[in-house]
């Protein structure tokens, strides 16, 4: 068993009949949850651990810069967006909005929900009555369509 598994506050227990019980410990109390809630919780935990490991030693802070003697003026010069980059970004934004407006109403709704509002593919699939895979395929097809329109305009 890995070290993180010892410290995690969620468990999946197999019952005598072969079914599973999903438990999350909240403030020292074990709470039985549905498989869907358990899955979402464990995925979020896994994502958080991944990001922490990935970012270890790479996070920037003002204190660290001051300790290392890096001036803010130097950082701003190096990382400030150039006028050309700003103009290109503005132009691409205008094209993206124009392409979005030209989408079919159902396509706009899907992109609005899944990309802009952050609705999960599973939840959106339940709302419109199709599978999550169907939503995923439609979303990627629409995004390819938008990319083509934005870059070829």
121 near 127, Cβ under 8 Å? no
**Ranges of each domain in the chain:** 1-80, 81-152
Fold of 81-152: Arc Repressor Mutant, subunit A (1.10.10)
For the question of whether the overall pTM of this predicted structure is more than 0.75, the answer is no
105 near 73, Cβ under 8 Å? no
Dihedral (CA of 140, 142, 147, 152) sign: positive
Strand 10-14 with 20-26, pairing: antiparallel
3-state secondary structure of 118: coil
Q: Which residues contact 119 (CB under 8 A, 6 or more apart)?
A: 113, 127
| 81-128 pLDDT, tens digit each | 888 888 988 999 999 999 999 999 999 999 999 988 999 999 999 999
């Amino acid at each position: 068993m890995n070290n993180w598994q010892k410290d995690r506050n969620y468990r999946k227990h197999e019952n005598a009949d072969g079914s599973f019980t999903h438990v999350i410990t909240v403030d020292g109390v074990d709470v039985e949850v549905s498989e869907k809630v358990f899955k979402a919780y464990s995925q979020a935990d896994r994502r958080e651990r991944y990001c922490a490991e990935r970012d270890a030693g790479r996070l920037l802070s003002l204190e660290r810069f001051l300790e290392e003697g890096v001036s803010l003026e130097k950082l701003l010069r190096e990382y400030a967006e150039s006028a050309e980059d700003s103009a290109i970004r503005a132009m691409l934004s205008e094209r993206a909005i124009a392409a979005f407006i030209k989408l079919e109403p159902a396509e706009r709704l899907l992109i609005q929900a899944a990309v802009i509002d952050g609705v999960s593919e599973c939840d959106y699939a339940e709302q419109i009555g199709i599978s999550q895979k169907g939503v995923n395929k439609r979303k990627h097809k629409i995004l390819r369509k938008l990319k083509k329109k934005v870059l070829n305009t």
